[in-house]
Amino acid sequence: MALLEVEHLNKSFGATSVLKDISFSLDEGHSVAIIGSSGSGKTTLLRCLNFLETPGAGRITVAGETLYDGTAVTDEHALRQKRLHFGLVFQSFNLFPQYTALENVTLAVKLREPSKSKWAAIDAHGLELLERMGLADRAGHYPHQLSGGQQQRVAIARALALSPDVLCFDEPTSALDPELTGEVLKVIRSLADQHTTMVIVTHEMAFARDVADEVIFMDGGVIVEKGPAREVIDHPREERTRQFLARYAQA
């Protein structure tokens, strides 16, 4: 049974239609990679899933609970509750510079837990997450003391701290130097091995092919092709997909 279901999602900015009738589902423990050129709607789709943008129409369901049914959600408390279903890792880390790595990981959890007697357990869990990221010895470091790859791994730990149903990545390596990209992809690969449910917007085609269960190719705000990752990357059916992958191979 699908954990995430997206049905007929649409989003426009003024007269510009950015998402057009987007539908897909994702089983628990599976990952889907979303590929496509800049401006194809990939990031807007993630922002709609996380309620950082409000879709214009459609339906979003997680674990059988309808989070969006075409009606705008204006209550801030309700929005925060819906966002808890998703964790989002941004391109540019978005860590708080005044907080240590551990504080960045635990801040949101502590804000939801008024009882300070439970904060020690929250810190312990935060340290466990940093250890999973290979950063146990960096818990007390501030973002400016960390490499870009280390900052992104802290951001992944922060997203995991709230135990989201679905973990979303918005081109998590695009702001990194090539030598730092591998360490972040290694973490995401390990999450896939642990059957973390993930939506990954990426420009790393080989990574998408080898790690994701499915691939969605978007162009012009529509899903052009979707299917098993290796099938879509190695044997695309649609001409637009073939042209995109050929351009990528020549880059």
User: How many domains does the structure of the chain reveal?
Assistant: 2
202 with 224, same domain: the answer is: yes
Asked, for residue 158, whether it belongs to a domain, the answer is: yes
For tokens 């299917």, name the residue: 227
Q: Which pLDDT tens digit goes with each residue over 76-117?
A: 888 888 999 999 999 888 999 999 999 999 999 998 887 888
* 238 torsion bin: left (phi>0), alpha (psi -120 to 50), beta (else): beta
184 with 241, same domain: the answer is: yes
172 with 74, same domain: the answer is: yes
Asked, for residue 74, whether it belongs to a domain, the answer is: yes
Per-residue pLDDT band at 238 (split at 50, 70, 90): very high
Contact residues for 39 (Cβ-Cβ < 8 A; gap 6+): none
Tokens of 195: 């059957």
| Segment 12-28 mean pLDDT | 96
Q: Last residue of a domain, which of 129, 163, 197?
A: 163
pLDDT at 250 exceeding the cut of 70: no
99 with 220, same domain: the answer is: no
For tokens 């589902």, name the residue: 25
Q: Last residue of a domain, which of 117, 142, 163?
A: 163
133 with 10, same domain: the answer is: no
pLDDT value for 123 = 96
70 with 104, same domain: the answer is: no
Q: Which pLDDT tens digit goes with each residue over 197-220?
A: 999 999 999 999 999 999 999 999
Q: Which pLDDT tens digit goes with each residue over 170-194?
A: 999 988 888 889 999 999 999 999 9
Asked, for residue 35, whether it belongs to a domain, the answer is: yes
Tokens of 49: 């899933």
Asked, for residue 90, whether it belongs to a domain, the answer is: no
pLDDT at 72 exceeding the cut of 90: no
Asked, for residue 245, whether it belongs to a domain, the answer is: yes
pLDDT at 251 exceeding the cut of 60: no
* 175 torsion bin: left (phi>0), alpha (psi -120 to 50), beta (else): alpha
pLDDT value for 215 = 98
158 with 191, same domain: the answer is: no
pLDDT at 249 exceeding the cut of 70: no
Taking the C-alpha atoms of residue 22 and residue 185, their distance in angstroms, rounded to an integer, is: 27
pLDDT at 247 exceeding the cut of 80: yes
pLDDT value for 178 = 85
23 with 122, same domain: the answer is: no
User: Considering all CA atoms of the chain, what is the largest pairwise distance in Å, rounded to the nearest integer?
Assistant: 59
Q: What is the mean pLDDT of the chain?
A: 93
124 with 244, same domain: the answer is: no
Tokens of 53: 């943008």
**Residue span of the structural domain in which 74 resides:** 2-85+168-250
Q: Helix axis angle, 101-111 relative to 148-161, nearest 10°?
A: 20
Q: Which pLDDT tens digit goes with each residue over 23-55?
A: 999 999 999 999 999 889 999 999 999 999 999
pLDDT value for 112 = 86
